[in-house]
Amino acid sequence: CSTVLFSRSCYVWFCFSLFDICICSYSVPAGESEDHASNRKQRSKLSLQMYLQCSRSFHGTLTFRHLHLLDQVYYGQAKCMLQRVGTWNFDIFLFDRLTNGESLVCLTLELFCKYGLIELFGLDPLRLHSFLVRIQEGYRSRNPYHNSLHAADVTQAMYCYLQEPKLSESLTSWDILLALLAAATHDLEHPGVNQNFLLKNDHFLASLYQNSVLENHHWKSALSHLRESGLLSHLPIEDRHRMEERLGSLILATDISRQNEFLSRFKAHLDRKDLNMSSPEHRQFILQMALKCADICNPCRPNSLSTCWSHCVTKEFFQQGDVERAHRHDVSPLCDRHSNSVAIIQKSFISYVVEPLFVQWARFCDTPLSHCMLGYMKQNKKYWSNAGQEDLMDNAQTTCCKVLPRGT
């Protein structure tokens, strides 16, 4: 009995230690004394103790549905934001600041709790948290675009799509688990350059995979973290293998070079009206399309958010172009800062990639959300068209006046 009591005491102590590491990395605000800061930390520990229901743990009745990562004192605003996590104008940039860069971990944990996945699949909350931290750290923070913030944004978008009636009324718990895992890991360990760059430079990743080099790397990295964390180790091996294959199917679908392949297939289904959401194969295909939409949904966000993402992705493109130029290689399309601009890139991207996909998605889900996304997309397309015209006028005036062009 004493051994069991000791082990449970260690478990609760570990929970508090985990909380100290993840939440209490707290800098004292200007004007606040160290003693007052210490009191705030102590109150935070007590509030976590309330969430963990410490007294129940000694009787083996710990209820994980009340275990929240976010603390009332430090992350009150972030918790308020999470109440609106299913809204399309969710500001992931603000949420990331409020969570001190932990947006992917906090948001994904919240969604797991919303769907009751921890209880449904018997997941260990500490292993789940450890897995999500590993995933977040697996994204390279120095990437301007393909980082953990992008993964959090895609996960939030995927949640919005999962709430659509056609999906929410037909998806299984396995489908939802896979959709959230795929969204969170779909760009894991992205190097910040595209596939052509890896091929041209004989990168070791290019020698590992014959096609979809980056997407295969993301998938295999996700599997590595999933297995090392032991998150699903308690499930039957057949279920785990099936889940891993389905996870790969979702992540591989985000390969932009296969866009026309998936779009043609999607359009054909819609024309024939033969999509059957009771079919596992059709549900998997719809999840693939949902992840593809979530991955490139930035132009369908409100302009204030969309513009931020546009500058982030362009910065990453231009960084690759600078490296290629420095090594005397041909600069990849869209990566030359001397012949491209944010407006030029965005107009092409919206017209030839985003719009065709979201028009077909709106045919499948004829809902207020779809109309909202199309509306924002049209506004952003017009915005970048006007911005492009202003750039041309500025360049013309600069040339006539023989003034050196402005730096970026």
DSSP string, 359-406: HHHHHH--SHHHHHHHHHHHHHHHHHHHHHHHHHHHHHHHHHHTPPPP
Tell me, yes or no, whether 33 lies in a domain: no
Tell me, yes or no, whether 82 lies in a domain: yes
Whether residue 396 sits in one domain with residue 304: yes
Tell me, yes or no, whether 79 lies in a domain: yes
Residue 80: C-alpha distances to residues 113, 255, 256, 375 (Å): 16, 35, 35, 27
Tell me, yes or no, whether 67 lies in a domain: no
Whether residue 313 sits in one domain with residue 223: no
Determine whether the annotation assigns residue 234 to a binding site.
no
Residues 107 and 136: beta-carbon distance below 8 Å: no
59, 66, 68, 146: the catalytic one is 146
Whether residue 192 sits in one domain with residue 85: yes
Whether residue 236 sits in one domain with residue 159: yes
Tell me, yes or no, whether 371 lies in a domain: yes
Whether residue 109 sits in one domain with residue 3: no
Supply the pLDDT for residue 232: 97
Determine whether the annotation assigns residue 36 to a binding site.
no
Determine whether the annotation assigns residue 170 to a binding site.
no
DSSP string, 327-353: TTPPPPTT--TTT--HHHHHHHHIIII
Supply the pLDDT for residue 75: 67
What is the residue range of 265's domain?
Answer: 72-272
Going by C-alpha positions, the residue among 185, 69, 192 that lies closest to residue 137 is 185
Supply the pLDDT for residue 35: 53
CATH number of the domain within which 182 lies: 1.10.1300.10
Whether residue 204 sits in one domain with residue 251: yes
Q: Note if 36 is an active site residue.
A: no
Tell me, yes or no, whether 27 lies in a domain: no
Determine whether the annotation assigns residue 147 to a binding site.
yes
* Overall number of domains in the chain: 3
Residues of the chain with pLDDT under 50: 1-30, 32, 37-68, 70, 73, 392-408
Determine whether the annotation assigns residue 274 to a binding site.
no
As a residue count, the chain comes to 408
Determine whether the annotation assigns residue 225 to a binding site.
no
Tell me, yes or no, whether 290 lies in a domain: no
Whether residue 143 sits in one domain with residue 179: yes
Helices then strands (H, E): number in the chain? Answer: 21, 0
Whether residue 92 sits in one domain with residue 48: no
Q: Tell me how far apart the alpha carbons of residues 156 and 151 are, in angstroms, rounded to a whole number.
A: 9
Q: Tell me how far apart the alpha carbons of residues 226 and 218 are, in angstroms, rounded to a whole number.
A: 12
Whether residue 77 sits in one domain with residue 209: yes
DSSP string, 130-141: HHHHHHHHHS-T
Residue 278: C-alpha distances to residues 28, 213, 274, 328 (Å): 54, 32, 11, 54
Supply the pLDDT for residue 76: 83
Going by C-alpha positions, the residue among 332, 345, 339, 338 that lies closest to residue 199 is 332
Whether residue 382 sits in one domain with residue 309: yes
Tell me, yes or no, whether 283 lies in a domain: no
Whether residue 305 sits in one domain with residue 177: no
Determine whether the annotation assigns residue 241 to a binding site.
no
Whether residue 329 sits in one domain with residue 238: no
∠ CA(86), CA(88), CA(90), 5° rounding? 80
Determine whether the annotation assigns residue 146 to a binding site.
yes
Q: Tell me how far apart the alpha carbons of residues 375 and 358 are, in angstroms, rounded to a whole number.
A: 11
pTM reported for the whole predicted model: 0.80
